């Protein structure tokens, strides 16, 4: 975001520019020394998103008013020793966003951060990647995979990740990642849907790390009934505009709420194990996806706890589902169990864990790191190639 700091004093202009630069990343901050009567000459055709004007008195507000009328998209923060009611009212009428005291650096940084958030919301909306994990049967491990992939994505190149636990009755995704207690949840957000914005959503989420946030499932089973498909749609749409990746743990109940989440997902990752009951449910789920007219490239099957030499082969699964994109997550019960019981992501316990390595390859295929290897068998999964070919047991 482009910011211009203007003050009659060169020393003050540079001091305030340093304060503004420290307000957050991604700020392009310039400063100029000029009386405010010459503001138009200082701007000289440039169009900063935010103006920070120092030493503003009552007559200078007329200049700001003319600027606001000629370019209403430019936000203005005024720094002034004048704080009388008459000054504040005229500042508001002149289009000033905030009036701050000359001695409060913290207030200036907070005001810049608020302006930056508003700019992000009104700029071209981000369209983050939405990935939905769905277990074909209870105990398939979809929640474990969703939570751990969210963590791995969040530590790659500082990408922002949101994990939304939409298994509303029995969701426990947060427990896979942290021992923090959620103070809010999906149901709480749904009750405030009329005033939903990114500040409300973030305040309801548990901040697992600087780049990973989790919105928990409701604490009480009865609260799950309060959440509707419209609520879920609003939450997902807002999340995808503010995070690079949005991972959904949708449980395995097929209802209007789940279908809404699947519709909004760019990729659906059904999780299945190679057992006859799981295959039967996977076949039903595959039939449902076809009835919903989901394109084949949207569906990416994951075989969890895979071991070679079983009674049911990957080729049998591929033929049963009519799917060309099938990939495997190896079986490593001890490592995964330790991760779940401790509430610590698998890759933090051991980078050499085979499950962590497989999820890292999956993350690489979704969000290639600059120095990472791009030609992986998980890459072929999302490229629509037959990753299962040649991998039969």
The lowest-confidence range among 24-38, 179-193, 198-212, 358-372 is: 358-372
- The domains located in the chain, with CATH, are 2-122 (3.40.50.2300), 129-382 (3.40.50.300)
Distances (CA, A) of 72 to 95, 96, 128, 302: 8, 10, 29, 51
CB burial string 1-27: b at 16+ within 10 A, e below: bebbbbbbeeebbebbbebbbebeeeb
| β 212-215/267-272 pair status | unpaired
The string of pLDDT tens digits covering residues 345-386 is 999 988 789 999 999 999 988 888 654 434 333 343 444 333
| 8 Å CB contact between 202 and 287 | no
Global pTM?
A: 0.65
What is the number of H-type helices and E-type strands within the chain?
A: 16, 13
Q: How far apart are CA 265 and CA 129, in angstroms?
A: 8
Mean pLDDT of the chain: 87
Q: What is the DSSP letter of 292?
A: T
Give the per-residue pLDDT at 124: 55
Could you count the other beta carbons within 10 Å of the beta carbon of residue 145? 26
- In this model, does residue 390 exceed pLDDT 50? no
Helix (H) or strand (E) holding 76: strand 75-79
- In this model, does residue 234 exceed pLDDT 80? yes
| 8 Å CB contact between 35 and 23 | no
| Structure-block tokens of residue 219 | 């604490």
| 8 Å CB contact between 329 and 305 | yes
Beta-bridge partner residues of 247: 131, 163
Give the per-residue pLDDT at 44: 62
Percent of the chain with pLDDT over 90: 62
The lowest-confidence range among 34-48, 101-115, 176-190, 323-337 is: 34-48
Burial class, 135, CB count within 10 angstroms (exposed 0-12 / middle 13-18 / buried 19+): buried
Give the per-residue pLDDT at 311: 86
| 8 Å CB contact between 211 and 159 | yes
Q: What are phi and psi of 356, to 5 degrees?
A: -60, -40
């Amino acid at each position: 975001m482009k910011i211009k700091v203007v003050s009659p004093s060169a020393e003050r202009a540079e001091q305030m520019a340093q304060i503004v630069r420290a307000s957050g990343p991604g700020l392009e901050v310039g400063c100029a020394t000029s009386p405010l009567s010459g503001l138009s000459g200082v701007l000289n055709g440039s169009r900063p998103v935010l103006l920070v004007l120092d030493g503003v008195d009552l007559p200078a507000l007329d200049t700001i008013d003319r600027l606001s009328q000629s370019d209403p998209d430019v936000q203005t923060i005024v720094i002034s020793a004048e704080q009388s009611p008459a000054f504040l009212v005229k500042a508001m009428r002149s289009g000033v966003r905030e009036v701050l005291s000359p001695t409060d650096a913290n207030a200036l940084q907070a005001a810049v951060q608020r302006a930056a958030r508003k700019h992000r919301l009104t700029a071209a909306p981000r369209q983050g990647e939405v990935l939905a994990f769905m277990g074909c049967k209870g105990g398939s491990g979809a929640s474990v995979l969703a939570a751990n992939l969210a963590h791995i994505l969040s530590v790659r190149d500082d990408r922002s990740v949101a994990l939304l636990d939409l298994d509303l009755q029995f969701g426990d995704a947060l427990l896979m990642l942290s021992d923090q207690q959620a103070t809010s949840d999906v149901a709480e957000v749904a009750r405030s849907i009329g005033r939903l914005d990114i500040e409300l959503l973030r305040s309801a989420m548990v901040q697992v790390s600087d780049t990973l946030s989790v919105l928990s499932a409701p604490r009480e089973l009865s609260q799950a009934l309060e959440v509707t498909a419209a609520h879920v749609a609003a939450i997902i749409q807002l999340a995808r505009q503010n995070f690079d990746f949005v991972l959904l743990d949708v449980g395995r109940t097929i209802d209007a709420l789940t279908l809404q989440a699947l519709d909004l997902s760019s990729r659906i990752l059904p999780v299945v194990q190679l057992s006859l009951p799981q295959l039967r449910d996977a076949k039903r789920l595959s039939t449902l996806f076809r009835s919903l007219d989901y394109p084949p490239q949207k569906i990416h099957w994951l075989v969890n706890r895979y071991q070679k030499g079983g009674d049911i082969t990957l080729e049998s699964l591929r033929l049963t589902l009519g799917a060309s994109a099938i990939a495997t997550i190896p079986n490593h019960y001890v490592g995964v169990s330790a991760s779940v019981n401790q509430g610590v992501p698998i890759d933090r316990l051991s980078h050499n864990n085979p499950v962590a390595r497989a999820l890292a390859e999956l993350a690489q295929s979704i969000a290639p790191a600059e120095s990472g290897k791009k030609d992986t068998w998980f890459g072929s999964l999302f490229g629509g190639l037959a990753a299962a070919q040649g991998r039969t047991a």
